[in-house]
Structure 1
Amino acid sequence: MAKREVDIVVISDVHLGTYGCHAKELLQYLKSISPKAVVLNGDIIDIWQFSKRYWPATHMMVVKHLVGLIAKDVPVYYIPGNHDELLRRFKDFHLGSLKIANKLSLKIDGANVWIFHGDVFDVVMQHSKWLAKLGAIGYDTLILINRFVNFISLKMGRGKISLSKKVKNSVKGAVKFINKFESTVCEIAASNQYKYVICGHIHQPEINTVVTEKGSVIYMNSGDWIENLTALEYNENKWSIYRYSEDPVAQAIEIKNKKKNKGESPKELMASLLHELNVKNPEHGPVETD
């Protein structure tokens, strides 16, 4: 199958290691495209809730696919979020074509683009991290309840009910309103002469022009792979929102759910993947990091 070529893909809020993660669907998407560069914009692996008891084969297959892109010398930029903030201590780390940075500043077709996860503007994260972590656990529990409700609903011939999405949207919407998330981000972006600003964190896919006192800024959010199953793509001089639900080609890709070797923990599997990554450390792309 010929893969669809994409100049840049931005993915965020995958939350590998949690029950709500749609790793299979993400893997189908990744296998359907041939990206020239990949930006992982935070909360890819949910370190907050990581457990050896729950790490399905498809979750490791996503990691392995990304490692495969790095081995093929495709630039992959990892911007840690709040759920994988442990990786922020590895800022400016290089491994082959992989680079870890807290934020990215790119110049694409003459336009300045600013990319970061976005949790820095979340009041809950800044002042009550314990509450945010408690909310994450509660959300994951709600996902499990939601799956049970949908199982019963489908058996009764009714459609799916997204309890988790309704709760998530209402909570994140309140936080977004209080913090004036978009306007704050865009005001700072305009002050620094950025035409585009890309975030994740709030799980709301969006492309919107925001007018500030210092000029207009195009705000973009890549959404998530929990509820929306979305990403941002840059191709043919244009940004767009990718939606898995609207992609029959990706949905048709067969994923063989291979069982992991007995006795191997996720940590051991990860170590073997890194061992496979025996590539040089070239410089890639017009990217400046802070």
Structure 2
Amino acid sequence: MKRKRLQFRSIWISDVHLGTRACKAEYLLDFLRHTESRYLYLVGDMIDFWNLRNGWYWPASHSQVIQAVMDKASRGTTVTYVPGNHDEMFRDHIGRLFGGVRVAAEAIHKTADGRKLLVLHGDEFDGVVRHSKWLAVFGSWIYDWLLYTNRWFNLLRRRLGFPYWSLAAWLKHKVKNAVNFISQFEQALVREARKRRVHGVVCGHIHKATIEEHQGVLYCNDGDWVESCTALVEHNDGSLAVIHWADESVYLLEETENEYSPGQRRLVPAD
């Protein structure tokens, strides 16, 4: 069954982490193939160079994601890439074009209803990343381990007839320090937006998709593509929404016991 493409004015995606086994590239490919937009923002951590330094992992689907983005740029979509901390090497190429994709330190997006939104990855407001990079790298390793463990746990849950459950997301919402960090991060971005005299901010980094208003300032996070498979979108009237593509997709990802062997993950049509 061929599905009609969804039309948006703007799309924001981030934290894809190409180059990791946790990356749900097949879901992202499905999203890119079933959506069109005038503007597309890649809000950092598209490629995980931290992980690639420890061993090369790059299946064909990860190259296909990059090609799909470049294809959109070639067909007229304005694509802006704002690097994050995992792909910070691209910050040395601010202002350049790669396959029609413009690299920028940050961006100001004007919505259809006239609001100005500051677009940036957000690691600049993470004290651990700024001042203790070794700790940030260690935390990233722990997070990857949680994702790995969670995949096997959910394989068992699925066989028992239970729905997907995210251990990493549960910890972020329940552990006091994690909850405090997320709140402090959001407040820091809101203060920056207020300082810049814009209506709101769009970021990534903490893998928690949301749209919230803090005392008249809009805080938007587009989430990630290692757990939630989310994107922030703008409709033609300027309204914003978070799309959970794992729920919207016409495909379901069938994961096998050998999921972490290259080439073992595949898409099957949903019922």
- RMSD between aligned residues: 2.0
Once residues 75 and 44 of structure 1 are traced to their aligned partners in structure 2, the CA distance between those partners, rounded to angstroms, is: 17
Between Structure 1 and Structure 2, whose CA radius of gyration is higher? 1
Q: Which residue of 2 aligns with 1:128?
A: 132
Residue 251 of structure 1: how far off its partner (Å): 2.3
TM-aligned CA distance change 1:64 to 1:183, over 3 Å: same
The gaps in structure 1 that reach 5 residues or longer are: 255-290
Residue 198 of structure 1: how far off its partner (Å): 0.7
1:244, 1:251 within 8 Å by CA — same for their partners in 2?
Answer: no
Once residues 20 and 95 of structure 1 are traced to their aligned partners in structure 2, the CA distance between those partners, rounded to angstroms, is: 26
Residue 229 of structure 1: how far off its partner (Å): 1.1
For normalisation by structure 1, the TM-score amounts to 0.78
Q: Which residue of 2 aligns with 1:113?
A: 117
TM-aligned CA distance change 1:163 to 1:253, over 3 Å: closer
The aligned runs of 1:60-209 (5 Å cut-off) are 60-95=63-98, 97-109=100-112, 110-169=114-173, 170=175, 172-177=178-183, 180-209=184-213
Once residues 105 and 28 of structure 1 are traced to their aligned partners in structure 2, the CA distance between those partners, rounded to angstroms, is: 28
Q: Which residue of 2 aligns with 1:10?
A: 12
Counterpart of 1:45 (choices 44, 47, 50) is 47
Once residues 5 and 164 of structure 2 are traced to their aligned partners in structure 1, the CA distance between those partners, rounded to angstroms, is: 31
TM-aligned CA distance change 1:46 to 1:156, over 3 Å: same
Secondary structure of 2:69's partner? helix
Percent identity over the alignment is: 33
Query: Deviations 1:187-222 (Å, cap 9, x if unpaired)?
Result: 2212322012111111111111111xxxx2111110
Q: Paired residues, what number?
A: 246
2:70, 2:99 within 8 Å by CA — same for their partners in 1?
Answer: no
Letter of the aligned partner of 1:173 in structure 2? V
Runs of 4 or more off by more than 6 Å in structure 1?
Answer: none
For normalisation by structure 2, the TM-score amounts to 0.84
Secondary structure of 2:80's partner? strand
Query: Deviations 1:51-90 (Å, cap 9, x if unpaired)?
Result: 6642122212111111211222321100000111111111
Q: Which residue of 2 aligns with 1:244?
A: 245
Q: Which residue of 2 aligns with 1:58?
A: 61
